[in-house]
Structure 1
Amino acid sequence: MSDHEHAASDELIFALDIGTRTVVGLIVEPAGEQFRVIDCTVHEHSERSMLDGQIHDVMAVSRVIGKIKEELEAKHGLLTKVAVAAAGRSLRTKRVRMDIQLSRHAAVTRDDVLTLEFSAVQEAQSLLAQELNEQDVTRYYCVGYSVVNYFLDEELIGNLIDQRGEKASVDVIATFLPRVVVDSLLAALNRCGLDMQALTLEPIAAINVLIPVTMRRLNIALVDIGAGTSDVALTEEGAITAYGMVPVAGDEITDALMNAFLLDFPMAEEVKRALTSSDEITFTDILGLEQTLSTEEVVKAIMPEITNLAGKIAVKILELNGKAPQAVMLIGGGSLTPKLTERVAEALGLPAARVAVRGADAIRQFVGEHPLLNGPEFVTPVGIAVAARRHPVKYVTVTVNDHSIRIFDLRKMTVGDALIASGLDIRRLHGRPGMAITLTVNGRMKMIPGGHGTPPVIEKNGEACGLDTPIAEGDRIVAVAGQDGENATVQVIDLMDKLDTLELFINEQPVSLGPVALVDGVPLPLDASLTDRSEIVIRLPRTVEEVLRESGVWSADGADEPVEVFHFQVNGHETTLPALQKIVQVNGKDAAFSDFVRPGDQLTFREEPFQAPEIRDVIPPEEWVQETISVHFNGQPVTITLASLSITMNGRAAEQHEIVENGAVISVKASTPTAPVFSDVFRYVDVSLEKPVTEGISRLVMLVNGEPASFHTELNAGDKLELYWE
C-alpha cells in the first residue's frame, strides 16, 4: 500500500468551491480556534458546464472535481467527504405582498403576524413554481426571508402587534434554493465517490469568515464578484436578510478590454490581472502589434464598463435593502477591478472608506499566512471549510401530520418552515371569519360582522407550539385547521339604539307605543331575522291605521276569522259590505285610516252594525233614467216625468224609499220616455174640470203660451199652460 492510499485524517476538511469559471479545492486542518490551510488547488472548467451557479453538465463538472480530488489525495490520502456550497446566484429571490382581513374588535397578535409572514413566504414559493412551470411547490427550500414593510389599512407601520384595523399587509423578500441545485451537486460528488459532509450557501460561507459575530448586528452588504455573475447578500441583526444576483461581473471588464485594445480573451484576462499589480502594461493585440500603456490609460478606456458594473451592483443592493447599507464588502476575483470600490460608494452615496475589498488579510484570523491564499477569490473557499466545522448544514427529518419531511437546516428552522415544506396552506389553517351582513338602516349603511374563526391547533411532540418554535431531528408535528366563524345573524330589535315611544289616548285610555319596523317596505315584528342587503326603516307609528294595529285595538289578524257581511244584488251586480262599520275619530273629528297622528291625540274607535240603505241609494246612476220637463200651470211650476221606474225586490214590487234587505235581489227597469201632452199635467195638479154653476160661464179656455190648445197638445220644457172657464 503506497503512501497516498491511506485515508486522510478525520480532522482534515476537504472543501470545494465550484464556480462558473473555476473550481477551488482546499485541504484545511482545524488548529484550535484557527484553521490551517494545508493545500490548495485551482482548476478551470474545460467547457461551459456551469451556468449561473447551476451545474448543467454533471459529468463534466465531476471530471474537474475528480482531478482536484486525485491531486490532493496524492499528498493527503483518501478523501471521502467534502464540504460544498450552493452558489448565491442559484438562489431565487421573490418579493411578495400579502394581506389579511382583521376583525375590527380584536388586536393583532404575534401569531397573526407570523401567519401573515409565513403565508407570504408560501405565496412566494408558489409564484416561483408557476414562473418555472414547476408543479410541486415544495421543490424550493426557503433559506431565508426578511420583512421589508408592514402595512395597516394601506399605511406603513413599524410593528403590527396589538394594532387594530381592517386589513394588515406584509411585504416580504423570500429566498429559495431550488432542490435541483442540491440534487445536481450531490450527483456530481457521488460520481467522484464523495459524500457531502456539509452544505452551505456561498454568501453565508463568506460572511462567516468575513464578519465576526460582534459585527453581525450591522447592516452590511457582501458582494461576491465572480466571472459571470456578482452575488449580493445582506446582513442585519445577526442574520442574512436577503440575496440577489447581478448578471454582470469580471467577464464584462475583460470584454471591455478586448474591444478597447483588440485583444483576445486570454490576453485581455492577463491585462486585467496586471492592472492591480503594475503601473505599466505591455500587451500584444490580435494584429500582432505590441503596445505599452500606463495602467491609468487602460483604466480610463474601460471606465464606462466599470461604472456600469458598480451601478448595477448598487441598484441590486438598494432593491434588496431598501436603503444604502452601513458598509459594503467586495470579494471574489472581480472585486480587484480598478476604481470599482469608489464607483460603488458613489452609486450608493456612501463615503469611499465604507466600501472595501476584503482579501486574504481579512481571513487571517482563520488561516494565518499562506502563500497560495492571497486574494479575495479565496474568501469563499475558506468560508466553506470553516462552515463545515462551525455551521454544518444537515438535513432535518420531521413528520407533519404523519408525513415524513426532509428539510435543509440552512438556518434556525421552525415549525412554520416544516409546514411550508409539507405543502400545507398556512392561510387555510386559520378558521375563516363568518360572513358579515350589510344592511341599510334609516338610510345609513350598517355592517354586522360574522364570528371569529378559531386559530389552528399546532403541536410538536404532543405539546402546543407556535409557528416560530424551533424544530429538531425526529420532531412530530401535528397541525389541525381552526374552525370557521359563525355567519352573522341579526334581528330587527338589535338595530334599535334607543327606544322612543309615542304617547296618546285611544277611547280615553292612555297608550304608549314603541317603534315599528318596515323591512323592504313590509312591516315585520321586532324579533324577525334579517337577511343581507335588506333595507330597514325603524320609526314610530305615524298613521291612524298603524296606531290602531300596534295598540291591538284593531287586530289585523282578525282578517282570518269569518267576517259578517251585508250583501245585495242590483240588476245582477253583487255588492258586499262589512256588517260592522268602523268609526274613527281624532280629537272629536271624523278621520281616515291614512290620517297622521301626533303625540297626545285623542283617538276614538268603535265598530257599529251596518245601517242598511234605502233602495234609491243603491240604484246605480246609469240605471236611473227618470227624465223630466218643467212647465208652468196657471203660474205654478210643475215637473212632468217622461219615463217611469219599475222596481222589484226579491220578486215583489217595491218603492224607492224602502230599506234594502240583507241578501236582497233587486231589479230596476225604466219604461221608454214618451212625449208629454196637456192632459198629463192633471196627474200633478189638483184641478176640477166640472163647469162651475156661476151665471154667464159658457166655455173652458185652454192656452199654451197664449195660443189655444187641446188636451192632446204636445208640451215642451218651459211652456206656460192656462186653463179656466169663461
Structure 2
Amino acid sequence: MTLSSKVWGIKVMVSKDGIVKTVVDVGSGRIKAIIGELSSNGETLKVLKYIDGPSKGMIKGEVQDGKALSKSIQDVLDKLRVATNEPINSISIGITGEKIKSRTVNTELALDEEVEINDTHIQKLIEKAEEKVFTGEEQILKTEIYNIRVDNSGIVKNPIGVQGSKLQGDVHLIYTNNETVSKLIATVNSIDVDVEKIILNSYASVKSTLDEEDMRMGVALVDIGEGTTDIILYKNEKLIYVESIPLGGRHFKTDLMYLYNIEEEEVADEILDKYRTRDIGEDGSIYYTGCDKPIMATDLQRIITARLKEIIDYVDSTIQKSGFNGYLGKGLVLTGGVIGDKLINVDQLLDMINQKTGYVARKVLPPNEFSGLEKADSSMATVIGLFYEVMEEEDRKLKTGSYTHQDIEVRNERKIQPQEDEVSKILEQHSGEEVEEKEKGKFISTVKEWFSHFI
C-alpha cells in the first residue's frame, strides 16, 4: 500500500468534487462491492458503502451462467445506488480461475546505440517476452520484471535513466485466455455497466494484507475462497509466481451431498449451519429436516478435514513447482472466506500446513483503518485490495498526470446491445458445470476407506 496513512484518515469529510469509484469482487459464493471516494487533492479516502449479496452463475472462477451472474451483480449495484445516490455506470472487477497462468521469460532487448533507458524500452522488453509465450489468444493480467541488467552490468534495481545499448531481464507474465476475460466483461456490459479495470484477485488480496517485510523476505499468500484457492508468491518485493486451483469452501457442501446422497442444497446448507453453530445433539449427531438418519458431527469433521488436506497438498505442490521452496522467509499467510468460516478450526489448519510444508503459517485480516468499513474480515481481503489498487492509481494520476501501464486491454461492448436471448447465448457458450470426476477421484479415495465404517 503506497498511499500514506493520512489518506486513510477516518475523521475527515470527503469533498464533494472527489473521485468516486466502485470495485466488485465477483466470487463463486458472494458478490462483494465497495463504492468509495478519493478527495480531489488526494488527501482523504472514504468508503461510502460496502454491500455483499449471493452470487449465482459463477463456478470455480468461471462464468457458467451469464444471465444469473449479471442479475447477481446488478442486485448488489442497485443496493449501492440506493444507499449512496451514485449512478455507478462503470466498475473495476477482480478475476481468478484455474486458467490463469504464470511464466517467467529471460528476455534481451538490443538498442541501436547507447541511449538513456526509459519506459518505452521497458515496454518493448515486455512485448518481446510476450512474443515468446503468446499465441494471440491470451490476455495479460500483470507483469513483473526482475534481475534487470543494462549492458554487462550487475543487477540494476531501477534501469530508468541508465545509459546503455542492451537491456536484459526476467519478465514474469501473468495471463489468462481471451474467452475468460470476454465472458466476464460481457456479463457486466449486459446490465449496461462498463468495466474500467480488471485486476488479478490474488494481487488484490496482497494489497490489503501483506506488508513490505513480508514481500521482501519471501511469502506465499493463500486466499481460500468459495470456489477457488489463489496462491501468490513474493520475494525481494517482486511477484514471482501465481496459481489458482478450483478448490474451495463450496466443496465442503458438494462432498457432503455426494457422500450422503443429499439431492437438495438447502438440506446440505442446514447441516453445515448446524455444525457451524454447534447445534449438535447430546449423542454427537446433527439432526436436520426430513432426515431418516442423523449425521455424526465427527464424520462431517472428517469430510471437511479431508478436503482441507487436499487443498494443502495443492498449495505445497504449487510452491514446489514454482521453484522457490526454501526461499519464503515469512512462510505462508492465509486469508479468504474459508479462513473466517466456523466450519474449520483455523489453528488446526495452520498446524496441518506447517507439518506438510515445513513453513510457519499464520492467518491475516485486511485493515479496519478507514471510515465506512469498520468490520472487515478475511472474506473481504480481495474487495478491499481492489479498492486500494484502483484508488492508488487515481492518487498517482493526481500526482503525476498519468496512470501506470494498464496491462490488460478492457473492451466494453455495451453501446450496441444484442437482445437478451442473444446475450444469454454468448455468455452461456461452452457453459455447464463439468463433471468433477478428476477432482473427486483423489479426495474420494482418501475418504471412502474410513467413511464406509460410519454409513
TM-score (norm 2): 0.63
Q: CA–CA distance in 1 between the matches of 2:191 and 2:243?
A: 31
Q: CA RMSD in A?
A: 4.4
Q: CA–CA distance in 2 between the matches of 1:38 and 1:334?
A: 24
1:543-562 aligned at under 5 Å gives the runs none
Alignment-derived partner of residue 248 in structure 1 = 247
Alignment-derived partner of residue 383 in structure 1 = 385
1:60 aligned to which of 43, 68, 80: 68
Say yes or no: does 1:70 pair with 2:73.
Answer: no
Deviation of 1:349 after TM superposition, in Å, equals: 0.7
How many residues are matched?
A: 351
Point out 4+ residue stretches in structure 1 off by more than 6 angstroms. 96-100, 113-118, 169-172
Alignment-derived partner of residue 228 in structure 1 = 227
Residues 299 and 33 of structure 1: CA distance in aligned 2, closer, same or farther (over 3 Å): farther
Q: CA–CA distance in 2 between the matches of 1:116 and 1:390?
A: 25
Alignment-derived partner of residue 51 in structure 2 = 40
1:356 aligned to which of 357, 362, 370: 362
CA contact (8 A) 2:188 2:195 kept: yes
CA contact (8 A) 1:14 1:81 kept: no
1:448-487 aligned at under 5 Å gives the runs none
CA contact (8 A) 1:146 1:242 kept: no
SS in 2 for 1:240: strand
Alignment-derived partner of residue 345 in structure 1 = 354
Alignment-derived partner of residue 448 in structure 1 = none
Q: Point out the structure with max Rg over C-alpha.
A: 1
Alignment-derived partner of residue 36 in structure 2 = 28
1:409 aligned to which of 397, 406, 410: 406
Q: CA–CA distance in 2 between the matches of 1:62 and 1:301?
A: 33
Q: CA–CA distance in 2 between the matches of 1:308 and 1:249?
A: 10
Alignment-derived partner of residue 267 in structure 2 = 267
Q: CA–CA distance in 2 between the matches of 1:367 and 1:410?
A: 31
Alignment-derived partner of residue 422 in structure 2 = none
Deviation of 1:244 after TM superposition, in Å, equals: 0.5
Higher helix share: 2
Amino acid across the alignment from 1:143? K
Q: CA–CA distance in 1 between the matches of 2:299 and 2:98?
A: 36
Alignment-derived partner of residue 186 in structure 1 = 185
Deviation of 1:242 after TM superposition, in Å, equals: 1.8
Alignment-derived partner of residue 320 in structure 1 = 322
Deviations for 1:523-556, whole angstroms, at most 9, x for unmatched residues?
A: xxxxxxxxxxxxxxxxxxxxxxxxxxxxxxxxxx
Say yes or no: does 1:123 pair with 2:118.
Answer: no
Q: CA–CA distance in 2 between the matches of 1:146 and 1:317?
A: 20
Deviations for 1:548-589, whole angstroms, at most 9, x for unmatched residues?
A: xxxxxxxxxxxxxxxxxxxxxxxxxxxxxxxxxxxxxxxxxx
Q: CA–CA distance in 2 between the matches of 1:206 and 1:192?
A: 27
Taking only the aligned residue pairs, the percentage that are identical comes to 15
Alignment-derived partner of residue 24 in structure 2 = 16
Q: CA–CA distance in 2 between the matches of 1:74 and 1:83?
A: 16
CA contact (8 A) 1:93 1:175 kept: yes
Deviation of 1:210 after TM superposition, in Å, equals: 0.9
Residues 261 and 29 of structure 1: CA distance in aligned 2, closer, same or farther (over 3 Å): farther
Amino acid across the alignment from 2:357? L
Residues 191 and 213 of structure 1: CA distance in aligned 2, closer, same or farther (over 3 Å): same
Deviation of 1:57 after TM superposition, in Å, equals: 4.4
Q: CA–CA distance in 1 between the matches of 2:373 and 2:21?
A: 18
Higher strand share: 1
Q: CA–CA distance in 1 between the matches of 2:296 and 2:215?
A: 43
Alignment-derived partner of residue 334 in structure 2 = 330
Deviations for 1:111-163, whole angstroms, at most 9, x for unmatched residues?
A: 9x9999875543222xxx3xxxxxx36x4326225679x9xxxxxxx979xxx
SS in 1 for 2:338: helix
Deviations for 1:175-225, whole angstroms, at most 9, x for unmatched residues?
A: 214344444343333332323344322122211111234543231212222
Deviations for 1:20-75, whole angstroms, at most 9, x for unmatched residues?
A: 33322333355865643533131221xxx334434354443322222222222222
SS in 2 for 1:74: helix
CA contact (8 A) 1:225 1:250 kept: yes
CA contact (8 A) 2:219 2:332 kept: yes
SS in 2 for 1:244: strand
Q: CA–CA distance in 2 between the matches of 1:193 and 1:221?
A: 38
Amino acid across the alignment from 1:375? D
Alignment-derived partner of residue 205 in structure 1 = 204
1:73-92 aligned at under 5 Å gives the runs 73-89=81-97, 92=100
Residues 58 and 171 of structure 1: CA distance in aligned 2, closer, same or farther (over 3 Å): same
Amino acid across the alignment from 2:202? P
More RCO (CA 8 Å, sep 6+): 2
Say yes or no: does 1:93 pair with 2:91.
Answer: no
CA contact (8 A) 1:198 1:392 kept: no
Deviation of 1:89 after TM superposition, in Å, equals: 2.1
Q: CA–CA distance in 2 between the matches of 1:393 and 1:83?
A: 17
CA contact (8 A) 1:92 1:176 kept: yes
Q: Which runs of 5+ in 1 are unaligned?
A: 1-7, 101-109, 130-135, 151-157, 161-168, 396-406, 412-726
Q: CA–CA distance in 2 between the matches of 1:23 and 1:64?
A: 7
